[in-house]
Structures are given as structure tokens and as C-alpha cells.
């Protein structure tokens, strides 16, 4: 499976959803918004049991100070 998780629930999510659809020909099979930075670890954990070797995971985040260390929160 190919997953695209977006921390943003508004413009960023709409942007990445359209990029996936129009430019990537729906490469990512699962495209979901976490609804905010604090919710991203919960979304990540929701799919954790479904991941298999060879899966692709992309996480789209804003480049803002509060996003510092976001990947550490997921690991």
C-alpha cells in the first residue's frame, strides 16, 4: 500500500490530495488528514498494524516552528 498522511486539515490537505489525484495519478492509495500536528501520531498509529515491507509512507507537514520534531513524535 501507499500512504499519504497530511498533518494539515485545510489548505495543505486539499493541496496534497489534488497533487496525488492530478499529478501522481492517484499513486497514494490512502490519503488522510490528521487534523493537526497533535493528531498526526494518532493517525500514524491507526495504520501501524497494516504496514508491510515495501509499503510507501509520505508525511506532509507545514514548515512552521511548531512542527519541529514531528518525526520524533512518530517514532
Q: CA-CA distance, 24 to 7, in Å (whole number)?
A: 19
Q: Does the pLDDT value for residue 63 go beyond 90?
A: no
Domain ranges of the chain: 2-74
Span 3-51, pLDDT tens digits: 999 988 888 899 999 999 999 999 999 999 988 877 888 888 888 888 8
Q: Which of 6, 35, 7 is nearest to 19 (CA)?
A: 6
Give the Å distances, CA to CA, from 66 to 6, 21, 30, 72: 15, 28, 25, 13
Residue 36 C-alpha cell reads as 493537526
Amino acid at each position: 500500500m501507499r500512504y499519504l498522511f497530511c498533518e494539515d486539515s485545510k489548505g495543505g490537505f486539499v493541496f496534497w490530495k489534488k497533487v496525488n489525484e492530478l499529478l501522481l495519478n492517484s499513486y497514494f492509495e490512502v490519503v488522510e488528514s490528521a487534523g493537526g500536528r497533535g493528531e498526526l501520531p494518532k493517525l500514524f498509529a491507526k495504520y501501524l498494524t497494516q504496514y508491510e515491507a515495501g509499503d510507501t509512507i509520505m508525511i506532509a507537514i507545514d514548515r512552521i516552528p511548531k512542527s519541529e520534531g514531528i518525526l520524533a513524535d512518530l517514532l
